[in-house]
Amino acid sequence: MSIGCIGKSKVPKIKNKKGIKMSIIKSEQLYEGKAKKVFATNDPELVIVDYKDDATAFNGEKKGTIHDKGIVNNKMSNHIMKLLEKDGIPTHFVEEISDRETVVKKVTIVPLEVIVRNIIAGSLSKRVGQPEGVKLNSAIIEYCYKDDELGDPMVNEYHIAALNWATKQEVATIAEYSLKVNEFLLKLLKEVGVDLVDFKLEFGRTSNGTIILADEISPDTCRFWDSTTGEKLDKDRFRRNLGGEEEAYQEMFKRLGI
Ligand code: TMP
Ligand code: ASP
């Protein structure tokens, strides 16, 4: 792939199915979520994600801004997805084109939030009545149906198959990739003095039905605790009104050497 430049954004040239190099041009907005906007491009297989500084919690009930969060999340997610690709996990990442914008593969999102946990925290702590910080014997995978109005209820493999959200084979692939992401991130973060408590992933289907990792991996979607002090370096600082969220996001950015 070669890169051209227009204004601040790099304009990637990507070979299409006929092997012809074409410039990727941002066109109309397709969608605006709580933390990102998605734009169409001149290639039907590609979209551009634009990360915002807007922060929400409790299914959008609490709203705020975390200065430069969009830059940290864009670059951190891209950094991690590039490493995951090398480790054999297919992702939506194609090319970062500015501080906040990335070209990604267009997918149909599987309507599930896949949560992986290593240490008890958050909703699991409440559900099982055990304190935050207790290390689990083995990683837990939880699935939640992605629907803010319903409060993203937890579901299991039977709901997922019976309600046609994903096939059994797709769920097996999603679980396999999620545990591989966990193993990869645990090691990467340990090297920079961070405990990976838990995180949320989303997956999508490409036009040919392949399951790939989509959405983002960032302090918005993970719990990161400093291995020595236990300090929270993620969005819980915003969710729990602890303050210092900008510094926490920047600290994670620095530690990962991005
Ligand atoms: P929980 O303990 O609140 O269920 O959160 C588990 C993980 O999922 C935690 O790392 C934060 C992440 N998460 C999201 O990415 N989006 C959400 O909407 C919620 C509730 C949690
Ligand atoms: N996804 C949540 C929301 O809907 C935010 C969170 O707790 O991460 O507002």
| DSSP for 151-204, written as a single string | T--EE-HHHHHHTTSS-HHHHHHHHHHHHHHHHHHHHHHHTTTEEEEEEEEEEE
227 and 166 together in one domain: yes
157 and 242 together in one domain: yes
CATH no. for residue 32? 3.30.200.20
pLDDT in tens, 137-157: 999 999 999 999 999 999 999
16 and 128 together in one domain: no
Residue 60 lies in a domain: yes
pTM of the model: 0.95
Query: Which residue in the block uniquely carries the two structure tokens 């961070």?
Result: 194
113 and 237 together in one domain: yes
Using the predicted structure, report yes or no on whether residue 1 has a pLDDT greater than 80. no
- Ligand 2 touching residue 59 (CB < 6 A): yes
- Ligand 1 touching residue 200 (CB < 6 A): yes
Q: How far apart are CA 51 and CA 72, in angstroms?
A: 9
Using the predicted structure, report yes or no on whether residue 225 has a pLDDT greater than 80. yes
Range of the domain at 216: 109-255
Residue 49 lies in a domain: yes
Q: Give the pLDDT of residue 36.
A: 98
144-153 long-range contacts, Cβ below 8 Å, gap at least 24?
144/112, 144/113, 144/115, 145/111, 145/112, 146/109, 146/111, 146/112, 146/113, 146/202, 147/111, 148/59, 148/60, 149/59, 151/59, 152/59, 152/113
Beta-sheet pairing, 26-32 with 101-105: unpaired
pLDDT level of residue 17 (50, 70, 90 thresholds) = low
Closest CA to 105 of 85, 86, 75, 87: 85
**Closest residue by CA, ligand 2 atom 5:** 57
Mean pLDDT of 59-67: 95
Domains contained in the chain, number: 2
pLDDT level of residue 9 (50, 70, 90 thresholds) = low
Closest CA to 200 of 129, 144, 250: 144
Angle at Cα 232 formed by Cα 255 and Cα 134, nearest 5°?
A: 115
233 and 114 together in one domain: yes
Residue after which a domain boundary falls, among 86, 107, 128: 107
Chain center to CA of 207? 20
120 and 46 together in one domain: no
Residue 1 lies in a domain: no
Q: Give the pLDDT of residue 2.
A: 37
Angle at Cα 130 formed by Cα 129 and Cα 131, nearest 5°?
A: 125
Beta-sheet pairing, 194-205 with 222-226: antiparallel
Residue 4 lies in a domain: no
Residue after which a domain boundary falls, among 90, 107, 124: 107
Ligand 1: distance of its center to the CA of 244 in Å? 19
224 and 118 together in one domain: yes
Residue after which a domain boundary falls, among 107, 129, 153: 107
Using the predicted structure, report yes or no on whether residue 10 has a pLDDT greater than 70. no
Q: Which helix (H) or strand (E) element contains residue 60? A: none
Percentage of the chain surpassing pLDDT 90? Answer: 91
pLDDT in tens, 37-61: 999 999 999 999 999 999 999 989 9
Residue 234 lies in a domain: yes
124 and 193 together in one domain: yes
Q: Give the pLDDT of residue 6.
A: 41
117 and 101 together in one domain: no
Q: Is the separation of the CB atoms in 150 and 173 below 8 Å?
A: no
Residue of 221, 222, 225, 239 to test ligand 1 pocket, by largest number of atoms within 8 Å of CB: 221
Residue 226 lies in a domain: yes
What residues have CB less than 8 Å from 208, skipping those under 6 apart? none
127 and 87 together in one domain: no
CATH no. for residue 247? 3.30.470.20
Ligand 1: distance of its center to the CA of 39 in Å? 25
- Minimum mean pLDDT range among 10-19, 66-75, 87-96, 155-164: 10-19
Q: Give the pLDDT of residue 241.
A: 98
251 and 161 together in one domain: yes
Residue 114 lies in a domain: yes
Residue 2 lies in a domain: no
Mean pLDDT of 10-37: 86
Q: Give the pLDDT of residue 7.
A: 42
167 and 45 together in one domain: no
- Ligand 1 touching residue 223 (CB < 6 A): yes
The dihedrals phi and psi of 219, each to the nearest 5 degrees, come to: -65, -15
Average pLDDT for the chain: 95
Mean pLDDT of 122-134: 98
Q: Give the pLDDT of residue 22.
A: 83
